């Protein structure tokens, strides 16, 4: 009887413990499942959620950045046997001898930096003052008459003369191209030319159309 009572007691204890473990424990998660019930977030909960989000962001950034070490393609790797380990001092000396241009400076020489260029101030604008009332111009005068025509130059050549013994009348010899002309004083030839005076070294002829006179030298006198 004592053994049977102990077995019954153990069965009851096992039954109540299994019932307590299978029933959901009351807590904040069960209350939050109720529709329409507000969730109250305390400052500690908000701080914890912010730290969790920062941790997740840092973790994602670390995962995205992947530094590349070496060459991805094995064919691009240089052959160590072809690399020249010597330090080419001759090439370094050649670079040092190159003179820098005016705008720059020698990278291998330490010195003071060039002085800054002072900007030239812009010139003041020129303001042109125009007169609102320009001076009145004088009206044009009457048209001027055309200039009087001038006589064309004479092309005759005076090459000699003769004097009559009977009356002392002079006659001049003129060349008009290949034609020989003989005319005395006050004689008219070519219907427009009149001999005014026959001299020893020149002859004066009047152009009756233009009322002008011209003096032609004697050919011998001109040649002398």
Q: Please give the share of the chain, as a percent, with pLDDT higher than 70.
A: 68
Q: Which residue has the higher pLDDT, 71 or 155?
A: 155
Alpha helices in the chain (DSSP H): 2-22, 28-32, 43-64, 89-96, 219-223
Which of 1-15, 33-47, 202-216 has the lowest average pLDDT?
Answer: 33-47
What is the dotted CATH code of the domain comprising 157-223?
Answer: 2.30.30
Highest mean pLDDT out of 31-45, 141-155, 178-192: 178-192
174, 156 in Cβ contact below 8 A? yes
In angstroms, the CA 11 to CA 216 distance is: 172
pLDDT tens, residue by residue, 58-90:
766 666 566 666 677 777 777 778 878 888 888
Residue 118 tokens read as 């002072």
Question: Regarding beta strands 193-198 and 170-176, do their DSSP bridges make them parallel or antiparallel, or are they unpaired?
Answer: unpaired
Burial pattern 117-149, b for ≥16 Cβ within 10 A else e, equals: eeeeeeeeeeeeeeeeeeeeeeeeeeeeeeeee
pLDDT tier for residue 105 given thresholds of 50, 70 and 90: low
pLDDT tier for residue 198 given thresholds of 50, 70 and 90: very high
Which of 134-148, 169-183, 205-219 has the lowest average pLDDT?
Answer: 134-148
CA atoms within 13 A on the CB side of 30: 5
Greatest alpha-carbon pair distance for the chain in Å reads 215
Per-residue pLDDT at 104: 58
In angstroms, the CA 204 to CA 198 distance is: 7
* DSSP assigned state of 200: S
Per-residue pLDDT at 222: 44
Q: What is the mean pLDDT of the chain?
A: 76
pLDDT tens, residue by residue, 24-63:
444 444 444 444 455 556 778 788 888 888 887 776 666 6
Instruction: Report whether pLDDT(123) > 90.
Output: no
Strand arrangement of the beta sheet that strand 157-163 belongs to: 157-163, 170-176, 179-184
In angstroms, the CA 175 to CA 194 distance is: 15
Q: Where are the domains positioned within the chain? A: 157-223
């Amino acid at each position: 009887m004592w053994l049977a009572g102990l077995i019954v007691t153990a069965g009851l204890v096992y039954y109540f413990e299994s019932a307590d473990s299978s029933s959901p424990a009351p807590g904040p998660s069960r209350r939050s499942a109720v529709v329409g019930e507000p969730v109250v977030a305390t400052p500690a909960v908000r701080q914890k959620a912010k730290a969790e989000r920062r941790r997740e962001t840092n973790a994602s950034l670390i995962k995205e950045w992947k530094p590349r070490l070496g060459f991805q393609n094995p064919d691009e790797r240089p052959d160590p046997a072809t690399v020249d380990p010597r330090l080419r001092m001759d090439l370094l000396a050649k670079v040092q001898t190159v003179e820098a241009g005016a705008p720059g400076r020698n990278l291998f020489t330490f010195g003071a930096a060039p002085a800054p260029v002072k900007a030239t101030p812009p010139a003041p604008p020129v303001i042109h003052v125009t007169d609102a009332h320009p001076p009145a111009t004088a009206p044009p005068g009457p048209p001027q008459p055309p200039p009087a025509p001038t006589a064309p130059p004479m092309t005759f050549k005076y090459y000699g003369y003769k004097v009559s013994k009977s009356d002392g009348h002079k006659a001049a010899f003129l060349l008009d191209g290949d034609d020989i002309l003989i005319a005395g004083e006050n004689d008219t030839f070519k219907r427009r030319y009149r001999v005014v005076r026959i001299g020893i070294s020149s002859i004066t002829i009047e152009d009756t159309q233009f009322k002008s006179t011209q003096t032609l030298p004697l050919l011998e006198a001109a040649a002398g």
